[in-house]
Amino acid sequence: MMQREISPLDGRYRERLAELPSYFSEFALMKARCEVELAYLEALDRAGLFPALQDGERERIEGARTSFSDADFERIVEIDREIDHDVKACEIFLREKLGLAQPNRIHFGLTSADVDNLAYGLLLERFRDEQQLPLLRRLIERLVDLVEAWKDVVFPARTHGQPASPTTLGKELAVFLSRLLRQAEQLEAHRFRGKLTGATGTYASFVAAFPDHDWIAFSDAFVESLGLEPNRCTTQIEDHDTLAEYFAIVSRINNVVSDLDRDLWEYISRGDVIERAVGREVGSSTMPHKVNPIRFENSEGNVAVSNALLHALSDKLSRSRMQRDLSDTTVKRNIGVALAHGHLAIGGTLRGLERIEVDEGALRAKVDSSPEVLAEAIQTVLRVEGVEDPYELLRGLTRNREVSLADLHSWVDGLAIAEETKKRLKALTPGRYVGLAEAVCDAVVIEATDWLAG
């Protein structure tokens, strides 16, 4: 019987997210929980608190770590169905699989939240490093290429939707490149926290069993061995504040991507940017001529879903009743959904960026067709010349009127200013009025390439 999916992540978009079940499936979570339990066994062994593991036991522990199978997962699920506790099911499974002479050391002193928070920390750190950052790097690399290629392509600017002082297309894309780069640096530097503090965060059961052992140092070392930052002061659960901080970074990245999507959509709709048609793709079921910017539209939609979930996750996970309630566990299972939609968004934007091109001549002609945008330059120069209230003079000349370049030149000729200044003003054209746009592009590209190389 054909499987019918509830979520488009497991249906329509499954192929685009083929790597993500390694981080966000029930299989991945059970595997990570077992990995934490197995690493904990080895840490206890190194601490010398129990009789040393035998060589055969160490081999079985290593084998369980490196070859977690579908059959292993199914056995855990089977146990979970019987006892209705997924982390305890992992413990029972490991007791069966490892056959240790002293199985009581498995899950020794731990609460399920100790195992769970560390498992999620492992999965999120790996997703960030192995999938999220590499995809973001690809987007940044693509923007670097476009900024360099189009840094001198004059482009019609709009402020409040009206013609404004011209820019270059490269400079406008450099804005998004710069914003993404800042968030990428924060994402890369972010550290997830983890805790190993017992049932209510007091290390009580550990101390009861081995009162002379330094359990805070042991806990810190173990959490750090997993690549996480120790959180010593907790309730039964890790407070999830670094998860909320991580979600905030991802949400900001999503917003920059969506902002880029929306601008490119506008540019395409106005003909300022062209989207190439590819192969047999269809833009409309009834209008054969259409080439729709659907990759940017889909990206924008996926950002909306992702950010709604990220905000909900941040709000819920950073609050818990007293020492612990269970409402966070079902919420955390949706972390992968939120991040997957963000992943789809960046992928869609990347595919869209691969298809856009420009007609430089047409863009220059469009910019030069709005000579009134030179009013800013003229009134600014006239301020230096000491002309009284040049802004009001230019406002009267240009507002709600069609003004040609010849009109502006004639008006400048009538001013009581130096001839050299008149000559300089009359040499201006909208297409050459882009200031330091290229220099801005070069600076952002250098910053981005430095980060990419690092």
Pairing of strands 162-168, 274-275: unpaired
Residue 283 has pLDDT above 70, yes or no: no
CA-based nearest residue to 310, from 342, 284, 279: 342
φ/ψ of 19, rounded to 5, equals -85, -20
Strand partners, 167: 155
CA-based nearest residue to 350, from 159, 136, 174: 136
* pLDDT grade for 237, boundaries at 50, 70 and 90: confident
Looking at residue 279, its pLDDT comes to 65
Q: Are 373 and 430 in contact (CB under 8 A)?
A: yes
Looking at residue 304, its pLDDT comes to 96
Q: Which residues of 55-71 are buried (b: 16+ CB within 10 A; e: fewer)?
A: eebeebbeebbeebeee
pLDDT tens profile 405-431: 999 999 999 999 999 999 999 999 999
| Architecture of the CATH domain 113-144+156-364 | Up-down Bundle (1.20)
Looking at residue 325, its pLDDT comes to 78
Share of the chain above pLDDT 90, in %: 83
Looking at residue 222, its pLDDT comes to 98
Q: Of the residues 67, 160, 285, 289, which is catalytic?
A: 160
Looking at residue 136, its pLDDT comes to 98
Work out the number of other CB atoms within 10 angstroms of the CB of residue 306.
Answer: 26
Looking at residue 53, its pLDDT comes to 95
Q: Say if 113-144+156-364 and 370-432 have the same CATH topology.
A: no
Average pLDDT of the segment spanning 114-140: 97
* pLDDT grade for 282, boundaries at 50, 70 and 90: low
Structure-token pair, residue 292:
């729709």
Superfamily of domain 8-108: Fumarase/aspartase (N-terminal domain) (1.10.275.10)
Q: Are 335 and 120 in contact (CB under 8 A)?
A: yes
| Architecture of the CATH domain 370-432 | Orthogonal Bundle (1.10)
The DSSP element (H or E) to which 36 belongs, if any, is helix 26-47
Domain boundaries, the chain: 8-108, 113-144+156-364, 370-432
* pLDDT grade for 290, boundaries at 50, 70 and 90: low
Residue 289 has pLDDT above 90, yes or no: no
Across 17-21, 43-47, 69-73, 121-125, least confident range: 17-21
Residue 284 annotated as catalytic? yes
Q: First CA to last CA across the chain, in angstroms?
A: 50
Mean pLDDT of the chain: 93
**Cα–Cα distance for residue pair 173/91, rounded to 1 Å:** 52
Residue 160 annotated as catalytic? yes
**Cα–Cα distance for residue pair 48/56, rounded to 1 Å:** 18
Q: Of the residues 69, 284, 327, 369, which is catalytic?
A: 284
Residue 105 has pLDDT above 90, yes or no: yes
The 3-state secondary structure of 153-173 reads CEEEEEECCEEEEEEEHHHHH
Structure-token pair, residue 156:
């019609």
- 211 DSSP assignment: T
What are the DSSP calls for 78-100, one per residue?
A: HHHHHHS-HHHHHHHHHHHHH--
Structure-token pair, residue 271:
């003909």
